Amino acid sequence: MTDFTGVNCPICGKPFLPGDDIVVCPECGAPYHRACYQKVGHCVFEDKHGTAQAWQSPEEQAAQTESVRCPRCGHANAPGALFCEHCGTSLTEQNPGQHASAGPQSPYGQAPINSSYPPAGNESNGHPNGGWPPYGQVPFAFDPMAGIDPDATIDHVKAGDLCKVVQSNTTYYLPVFMNHEKFHSRRFNFAAFILGGGWLLYRKLYTMGTVITTALLGLEVLKQFLDMLYVNPIVLQIMNHLGISSTSFISSKQLYQIMGAMNSSQIALFALSNALIPLIVLIVHIVVGCIANNLYRKHCVKTVLQVQATVKNDSDALINYQEKGGINTVLLIMVIVCYLIVTNIVNYNSSFMF
């Protein structure tokens, strides 16, 4: 049983003595002299149950006093904590002149993020922890700048303006741009490697995207053309001559037999369709993956400079950024559909695969 000796009764204010007849509120644990509680008829903290203003034992009050409150989410952290256990915000660094209760500032230096928490003029608002919502219910403050100062320059253009052009997935591209600015480092873009010219069109690099997409589709059309008109009929004829079934999987040994029965021109056609063209396509995809981020950074910088040179009004500038920046999902879907159509052209006179 809890020893309340020395603790003051919330009603009469007198400390409890050993042997006193004490009753405890079942909701908040507040102790009372039995006579005091019967006189009032209820817990004096009744309207504060479930909030930070409810009764607390001296030990709990001391622990709360020593705890470190997070300036972002309001979570009470253990004494000496360097980072918030809830949201990971630093508990040792705050912006000059910014009070912890003011909430974190937005990356653009405007209104504080989540500045309405806790609600002004209502400390409790029915929530525990002094008006802050319960653990895990505080809105997450997303930083589109990925921690980069909006006034920092990348290729003589502010990072905040580049963010307006990139729009989608800024947390990836802005750090990549900044690393290139500071360390001249390059990062391989796997999305561009997989999608090839489709990625360039998706990011509105229309000229380069059209050239690469056309070249890759042209190579795929050439491969299908060679397979349908030359390679597949030749291979099917040789397989029939050697007694190899065209409906079963071709083993490596059988493939060597087929290649051995070909003349030099037939081998050249086979190698062009099944080795050289796929190799060229792979090389193009690798090159696109290597240069994609650099091309995109130059594209974004160029877009910002064009908008700044032609538009002086901020609202018109935002409209231009919205139109010229961001992504073009429709073009990407069209490229994928065209690629699927081209790659699924089959020779109905042949029913085997390599």
| Structure confidence by residue, pLDDT tens digits, 272-300 | 999 999 999 999 999 999 999 999 999 99
Would residue 260 count as lying in a domain?
A: yes
Tell me the pTM.
Answer: 0.59
DSSP 191: H
Can you give the pLDDT at residue 305? Answer: 95
Would residue 96 count as lying in a domain?
A: no
Cα gap 292→295, rounded to integer Å: 5
**Tokens 């020395």 belong to which residue?**
6
Would residue 146 count as lying in a domain?
A: no
What is the largest distance, in Å, between two alpha-carbon atoms of the chain? 112
Question: How does 18-30 read in b/e, with b if 16+ C-beta sit within 10 Å?
Answer: eebebebbeebbb
- Number of domains present in the structure of the chain: 1
Would residue 214 count as lying in a domain?
A: yes
Cα gap 276→93, rounded to integer Å: 58
Would residue 179 count as lying in a domain?
A: yes
Would residue 202 count as lying in a domain?
A: yes
Mean pLDDT in order along the chain per 10 residues (354 residues): 80 86 87 88 84 75 67 70 66 48 40 42 46 49 81 93 92 94 92 96 96 95 90 89 80 86 92 94 97 96 94 86 92 92 60 42
CB hemisphere CA count around 3 (13 angstroms): 4
Would residue 296 count as lying in a domain?
A: yes
Cα gap 335→354, rounded to integer Å: 26
Would residue 237 count as lying in a domain?
A: yes
Residue span of the structural domain in which 214 resides: 159-343
Q: Tokens at residue 153, please?
A: 């320059």
Angle between helices 159-166 and 277-310 (to 10 degrees): 120
Cα gap 195→176, rounded to integer Å: 19
Which amino acid type is present at position 344? N
